[in-house]
Structure 1
């Protein structure tokens, strides 16, 4: 790994949050560098999505900090963090369901180009915006459904559109919360191939919250394991899955055995 890639794009330092007497995330320190894919795993209730929410600004931390390119983003809103380069795709899609697929993308692309939400200006006059939208539609394999209202897409189609919206923002960090959750067997590979393509293009730091071992094995360079809000393991997938503490907390002997056979 080069010295440039050794510099963390994203870092959490002693990150913690509690709700009443429950410590949902406890003192989690982790560094994430460019051109890597990290899977965040753990049993239900381990704090994975809460950890994502703290990083992306959906929740304020009780203690600790989040650093983006070495700068603290503590106190920043989720939208300010997104503009600074923290992209997030959610378990539940965050779209404008009555707008077309293309217009969902166009709003984001216009904002990135500094045009804002100028509904009074014909979008067709914005040549570069249109070109960018068309490129995104091709990337997420929704060009043929460009004029369909987003709310009429299948769940998998909506997830792809959400990834397209994140790509439109061109963030340095891309966070996927269970990217294939609820998808059919036909839909899931499209999203996984898209994430793999983003990885191969380089320049991004990718974080996944994921349960499926086949997805983790196909995409992740590294696994971070949370249990009861605490970081209990961090390393290469094969090494982490071989740890007794991980088997006990989450993976289970049967899953580790199955993973070792693949």
Structure 2
């Protein structure tokens, strides 16, 4: 990999409601087809944000859940239509399937409805950095070697989300902002913290192996933007709890956008700091 001046990756939070146009947007873990998907907030996000290229970094549709029970609201359909409309208006859309939408891996290399379906790819930023784009489940040992356990974990996650929904209804009634039970648990349970750290090291190591300057991934529902041993590690988060996206500005700067903060600001609720891992 050719040496070049390393730009520090900048992490900020977008809290304005102005319409913005970016060079690139990265979205992942939307989980359309589940009751936990915050499709309305994503629609709100897409009304105010456009980009030349949009990467859908896996788990956009939750095939696991849809196979067990069908759920598809109008808002979920609107998300699909909104994305396709952006493609018709000139945005390049690249879909990289994850483990929950792995059925699309049978269509790698195809182009349909203005969307390119690929397994992984390299994105070059405006300032010349090469970023490996990959969902990340390929480096999750449980998903690869104990799929039944991954499905069991998915069931437990849904149960936690149901509890989280009840808790947040009470918090809203009392005038408190959104709080994520599972995000809090991830950062408090030692094994979960260790898993996140190992995942980040594995993905940054793969980027280095492929001669890239960084990696953009999803999968673990934990938004992050930092450097690990000189490699930019970027995780887009999710649209089930944190409602985050990553944007590349036209000068190559990268930014995490936390859309729930804007929604809470509009509702007049106090801002709630996002949980941060001890390593950050």
TM-score (norm 1): 0.33
Larger fraction in helix: 1
The structure carrying a bigger strand percent of its residues is 1
What is the TM-score with the length of structure 2 in the denominator? 0.32
